[in-house]
Chain A
């Protein structure tokens, strides 16, 4: 496939691995903060291609995993309501809430449908005028513009039966939180598709204030290895900077049109991140001008006391302090078929990835 296969060329993968082995002398830790990077690193066996002095850590990059449990509890309550269709990206359906999951509610008769895009949810609102369509919006800046575009379209069409339960989060506040918590990392692989939207200026403080390097990386094996090589060079020369490896899609200025749409529809707000607690100005909420499309304003959602699953160390895994295999439940009680925590449910969660690709 064009623009994919060329970036998986095995000869060049080996050459990159050889060069990294030659150049890399210092003990270094590199953190990625993107679920798709977590998946790609394990799927392509990147760790095995690196020398032992490079430690790759998975950080809080999986949007499903970092979303606080009350979001699922609210979605579950909405699913129980009459004449409601819940539309969601696939991952969310099995995520454990305090008392139930969307999958369990579906089995009990709730109308819960997996969609690929908010546009499908809007189509449902048009064809099912007797139902209230609710779209569960999670994801980082890669996904927020599409939710914004969806809400704008709903406004243009004057839809009366469509709303969004919003849990979008943004980068780089969690990267700042990780550093300020003292978690050891010498540099970051920055999320390639988030950066397509945001551009790279927002990473400058990581170099200026904290003297750690940032390389914006693509998702194919060659992209990830090239990015690691760029970070190794920065660290060996002690010259941290912000660089783009994924130049075929990431421009320094990002996608301004997409950002304008997001700013038109959303405001920034504080949010609770699993593992990191409350991070200020780290999430998006729907502006009051669009409150007729905000499920939290349209519906009176009442949830009980939240509770995290017992024994689950998702929070520690999300900060890179523990590997999934450190968890007592991993692979025994907690598996993709029977997940205890969010990190095992999401296809981009570290636990799921470790389980699927047999890492340790």
Chain B
């Protein structure tokens, strides 16, 4: 039910975006977002984009894991 997937906005017309989900083009509404742009990765649920991804935070989460990896190797 809470299934949400990160997808890329391929095109935007008003509040309607086209996103590519495993090769299928889905029409979704961006009416819940402020200032969506083509190229943004957004979280989609029940036909609506709920949030834009924070790419810096995504990178930080993965970098933190790499650090943890280094810690576990050394201990």
Digitize B49-75: 1 where CB-to-A-CB distance is under 8 Å, 0 elsewhere: 011011101101110111011011001
B1/A117 in contact, CB under 8 A: no
- Chain B residues contacting A6 (CB-CB under 8 Å) are 58, 62
Q: A142-B45, A257-B34 are in contact. Are A91 and B1 (CB under 8 A)?
A: yes
Q: How far is the CB of A35 from chain B (nearest CB, A)?
A: 5
B50/A248 in contact, CB under 8 A: no
> On chain A, which size bracket covers the interface?
35 or more
A149/B60 in contact, CB under 8 A: no
Inter-chain contact count A-B, CB under 8 Å?
132
A247/B61 in contact, CB under 8 A: yes
Residue of A nearest to B64 (CB): A226
> A222 contacts the other chain (Cβ, under 8 Å)?
yes
Q: A3-B58, A142-B4 are in contact. Are A222 and B65 (CB under 8 A)?
A: yes
In the bound assembly, the distance between CA atoms of A191 and B4 in angstroms comes to 12
- Chain B residues contacting A346 (CB-CB under 8 Å) are 1
Q: How far is the CB of B1 from chain A (nearest CB, A)?
A: 5
A64/B32 in contact, CB under 8 A: no
> B31 contacts the other chain (Cβ, under 8 Å)?
yes
Interface hit among A15-23, A44-52, A200-208: A15-23
A16/B31 in contact, CB under 8 A: no
- Chain B residues contacting A18 (CB-CB under 8 Å) are 72
A196/B50 in contact, CB under 8 A: yes
Chain A interface, DSSP helix/strand/loop, else mixed: helix
Digitize A244-270: 1 where CB-to-B-CB distance is under 8 Å, 0 elsewhere: 010111110001011001000000000
In the bound assembly, the distance between CA atoms of A191 and B2 in angstroms comes to 9
Q: A2-B6, A35-B1, A257-B33 are in contact. Are A248 and B61 (CB under 8 A)?
A: yes
Residue of A nearest to B33 (CB): A257
Between-chain CB contacts (< 8 Å), 30 pairs:
A1-B22, A2-B41, A3-B6, A3-B41, A6-B58, A6-B62, A18-B72, A22-B72, A35-B1, A64-B1, A117-B46, A117-B47, A118-B47, A119-B47, A140-B1, A142-B50, A143-B46, A146-B48, A193-B2, A193-B43, A193-B50, A196-B4, A196-B43, A226-B65, A245-B61, A249-B43, A255-B32, A257-B34, A258-B50, A261-B32
B residues whose Cβ falls under 8 Å from a Cβ of A: 1-6, 8, 22, 28-29, 31-34, 41, 43, 45-48, 50-51, 53-55, 57-58, 60-62, 64-66, 68-69, 71-72, 75
